[in-house]
Amino acid sequence: MTVAPAPPVRLLDLGPVSPLRSQALYHALAESMGEDSPDTIVLCRPSAPYFCVGHHQSPGEELDLDWCRDNGYPVFRRRIGGGTVFLDPSQLFYQCVFNRRRAPLMVDAIYRRFLMPAVETLRALGLPAALEGVNEIEVGGRRIAGTGGGQIGEAVVVVGNFLFDFPAAVMGRAWRVPSNDFRRLAEDGLRLHMATLNSALAGRPSDARIRAELVTRYEAGLGRSLVPGSLGAAEEAQVLEQEERLFLPGEAGGGVRLRGAALKVTHRVWVHEWTWPVGGADARVTARVADRRIEDLVISGAALARDDAERRVLEALRHGAA
């Protein structure tokens, strides 16, 4: 019995697209997905900077929306998971949209299937990249990519990027945080625990090389060829519809209450803040925790000995904080 070869994967290598379209593309392809729809990988980069929050997040809780608006940064909320991210032209996106029946069943297997080609691409560039946790790509223990994923309709979606550069100060300022100490520890955490291609490599690889390496790695990892294609008329119409949906205030809205006093910098690194009564006043303790060890700590308000503050932080972490 002859087994039919696996169908090719459509490759949409689109170059620069608008911030809105960079998010609408994979939403539209997923909404259009049927049994006979082509599995697709999109390569693109946004033509301007913006912020994007995960499906289960509130933009108003995650970000200082007034500051974002005043500084010209659009804010969108996608329909897949992952955290709040800053995206700009110094990043190259890859977006995998596959029929769920042609993708693994378990979440960790889905991420491994669609993120390992990116890891192998980084290795081909000379970096000791690894897939850590479920979906974090790291080089030497530092995060070097943003990723997210989920299911939309009949499609499994996994997205990621290659970071050529990253403005930690912009991300740090945009976060909605409870104090200036919290903001400083979070921003410093980005600088300490994130890597970029520009910082990790002596010479910047070209977009063309990265795209070619990525295509080769996906073909090897999926066991299917990638064939250049284009959007169909119905898909293009769906992209326009998704652009309208993402642009609606309701899509990027949500409450404006202050976020909880915990922020994930990477899967290894969190910033926390607590307030404890000390001698009739309140002491505020802000800590950056890496691999459940205190990396930096600031005490303000009522006098509290550092040893006592560290003890309280470790106790709080043992009782459920990340």
How would CATH label the architecture of 9-247?
2-Layer Sandwich (3.30)
Report, in this order, helix, strand and coil percent for the chain, each rounded to 5: 35, 30, 35
Query: Which one-letter amino acid corresponds to residue 22?
Result: S
- What is the side-by-side order of every strand in the sheet holding 269-278? 262-264, 269-278, 281-290, 293-301
The predicted structure's pLDDT at residue 57: 87
Contact in structure between 92 and 207 (CB atoms under 8 Å): yes
Contact in structure between 47 and 18 (CB atoms under 8 Å): yes
The predicted structure's pLDDT at residue 241: 95
The predicted structure's pLDDT at residue 252: 45
Q: Where are the domains of the chain?
A: 9-247, 268-318
The predicted structure's pLDDT at residue 100: 96
The predicted structure's pLDDT at residue 253: 45
Segment-wise mean pLDDT, segments of 10 residues, the chain, 322 residues: 73 97 97 95 98 90 94 94 93 98 95 98 97 94 93 96 96 95 96 95 91 98 97 96 78 45 91 92 95 94 92 89 54
The predicted structure's pLDDT at residue 322: 53
The predicted structure's pLDDT at residue 251: 41
The predicted structure's pLDDT at residue 255: 44
Phi, psi of 47 (to 5 degrees): -85, -10
Cα–Cα distance for residue pair 294/300, rounded to 1 Å: 17
Give the global pTM.
Answer: 0.91
